[in-house]
Amino acid sequence: MAKYTKSLISFPILLHTLCFLLFPQPLLSQDNDFVRQPASQLIITPHQRSNSDPQQVHISLVGKDKMRVSWITEDNEAKSVVEYGTKEGVYSEKSMGEHTSYQYFFYNSGKIHNTVIGPLEPNTTYFYKCGGLGPEFSFKTPPSKFPIEFVIVGDLGQTEWTASTLKHVDKSDYDVFLLPGDLSYADSQQPLWDSFGRLVEPYASKRPWMVTEGNHEIEIFPIIYPNGFKAYNARWPMPFQQSGSNSNLYYSFEVAGTHIIMLGSYSDFNVESQQYNWLQLDLAKIDRVKTPWVITLLHAPWYNSNEAHQGEGESMRQAMEELLYEARVDLVFAGHVHAYERFTRIYDNQADSCGPMYVTIGDGGNREGLALKFEKPTSPLSLFREPSFGHGRLRILNETHAHWSWHRNNDTNAIVADGIWIESLSNLKACSETPNNQVAHEEL
Ligand SMILES: *[C@@H]1O[C@H](CO)[C@@H](O)[C@H](O)[C@H]1NC(C)=O
Ligand SMILES: *[C@@H]1O[C@H](CO)[C@@H](O)[C@H](O)[C@H]1NC(C)=O
Ligand SMILES: *[C@@H]1O[C@H](CO)[C@@H](O)[C@H](O)[C@H]1NC(C)=O
Ligand SMILES: [Fe+2]
């Protein structure tokens, strides 16, 4: 295993080191003299439990008060049962689930278990055990009302920077983890999905992780695996049926007064597509009294002033931006570009106080390094940008106010490097008019 990954990574790292020695990296310092973080080593997280023990445990929200527990066993006899309760070591409840597995060329996955548990009380700690064996895990359910805090970070990967990001995330409490695509960077090397599952287990077994797909999840192989997403769909099932979607690649869910739309950058999105149709219906169902906040996540950014991946989200923006704008979506988070960038509120390439605020947060810790170059001259729509690893936090205080912050990784401390207060569009009178009557078009 170690040998196999070495050949995978040592060459690029060597090349990177060589380039670094030959051409010292330009410091793109924009607001300080912080030294950019270079790419770091891949971490392989070995399987250290017995074959019948659960591994790669992670949880995700299902409906109003349920949780899906997902895990993998090497042993095919292991049962898909979750025992749980609110006291350590005492399991008053028990649910049976389903299992699946998949094959990718010569790789056969372990037994993938998915068990939905609940109804659960909000804002409550539960203790649980998977398959009747192995360690006890625990999680806290999100609150049913504000305040609620989301951690948001994309392009996670499994490097030393990933480990550092996750440690920083864990240092202060939050309720739900949102990931706008690019999880394991397995890129068809299936054992890396298992390694990723083990790396994130301490975090993903404790708080719900809600994800959408990135390009590194595609794993299409012509003729043999023409549809892709085999590993992703088997390992990271999301509650798409509950929102009327027919694909794990796009869905929505609600938690504590927030409607969250997970779009699929790598699923058809044009006007005739099922995704477009579903999005239209989903937006029409939103009740801003019940969920005053509406946020969207997707992988390839619609607004991006980095030289990396320029224009890749453009056709999706052209197809769907108007829908989000008319529905007064508050915030759109993307990944893909390995840097942090915050924009103003925008509609159709213009500052618009009734459009969503756009954020790129693709700086979780991938193995490809940072996207160092931003376009010059700087777009007036882009208010803050920095190529450093880190994570974001969205703390929704109440119906009207939320605080967004970006936390740069800095070895031992996560430094708060950017922060802004946001008001929900559901609360802004000027934006409750129909969008076409021009009230909206004013500079912020
Ligand atoms: C959740 O529980 C904690 C402590 O048990 C409490 O301080 C907090 O106010 C609760 N949050 C909500 C939104 O109910
Ligand atoms: C919401 O929170 C903000 C920030 O703390 C505060 O100024 C505002 O008064 C609160 N609004 C309501 C309705 O509680
Ligand atoms: C970042 O970490 C270094 C080393 O731990 C420390 O010296 C420096 O003060 C930190 N930077 C900031 C902005 O806190
Ligand atoms: Fe990506």
Residue 123: CB within 6 Å of ligand 1? yes
Give strand ranges (E) for 314-400: 331-334, 340-347, 350-351, 357-361, 382-386, 390-396
Catalytic residues: 309
Q: Supply the residue whose CA is at minimum distance from atom 2 of ligand 3.
A: 410
Burial of 123 per CB tally in 10 Å (0-12, 13-18, 19+) = middle
* CA 296 – CA 185 distance, rounded (Å): 23
Q: Supply the residue whose CA is at minimum distance from atom 4 of ligand 2.
A: 401
Give strand ranges (E) for 133-185: 133-140, 148-152, 176-179
Closest CA to 182 of 192, 191, 174, 173: 192
Which residues lie across from 341 on neighbouring strands?
Answer: 360, 385
Render pLDDT for 229-281 as a digit per residue (tens, 0 to 9): 999 999 999 999 999 999 999 999 999 999 999 999 999 999 999 999 999 99
Of 34, 35, 410, 412, the one to substitute when testing ligand 3's pocket (max ligand atoms within 8 A of C-beta) is 410
pLDDT at 410: 75
pLDDT at 434: 52
Fold of 55-140: Immunoglobulin-like (2.60.40)
Of 123, 146, 148, 207, the one to substitute when testing ligand 1's pocket (max ligand atoms within 8 A of C-beta) is 123
Residue 401: CB within 6 Å of ligand 2? yes
* CA 208 – CA 381 distance, rounded (Å): 33
* CA 434 – CA 423 distance, rounded (Å): 19
Which residues of the chain are under the pLDDT cut of 70? 1-36, 411-414, 433-444
Residue 395: CB within 6 Å of ligand 2? no
Residues with CB under 5 A from ligand 4 (ion): 182, 214-215, 336
Q: Supply the residue whose CA is at minimum distance from atom 8 of ligand 2.
A: 401
Residue 145: CB within 6 Å of ligand 1? yes
HSE on the CB side for 385, CA within 13 Å?
Answer: 27
Q: Supply the residue whose CA is at minimum distance from atom 14 of ligand 3.
A: 415
pTM: 0.90
Residue 427: CB within 6 Å of ligand 2? no
Contact of 83 with 132, CB cutoff 8 Å? yes
Q: Three-state DSSP class for 138? A: strand
Of 289, 395, 398, 422, the one to substitute when testing ligand 2's pocket (max ligand atoms within 8 A of C-beta) is 398
Fold of 148-437: Purple Acid Phosphatase; chain A, domain 2 (3.60.21)
Tally of residues, the chain:
444
Residue 143: CB within 6 Å of ligand 1? yes
Task: Determine the atom of ligand 1 nearest the C-alpha atom of 144.
Answer: 13
Q: Supply the residue whose CA is at minimum distance from atom 3 of ligand 1.
A: 123
User: Ligand 3 mean position to 364 CA, how many Å?
Assistant: 19
pLDDT at 433: 62
* CA 84 – CA 68 distance, rounded (Å): 12
Q: Supply the residue whose CA is at minimum distance from atom 13 of ligand 3.
A: 415
Structural domain boundaries of the chain?
A: 55-140, 148-437
User: Ligand 4 mean position to 335 CA, how many Å?
Assistant: 7
Render pLDDT for 33-68 as a digit per residue (tens, 0 to 9): 456 677 789 999 999 999 999 999 999 999 999 999
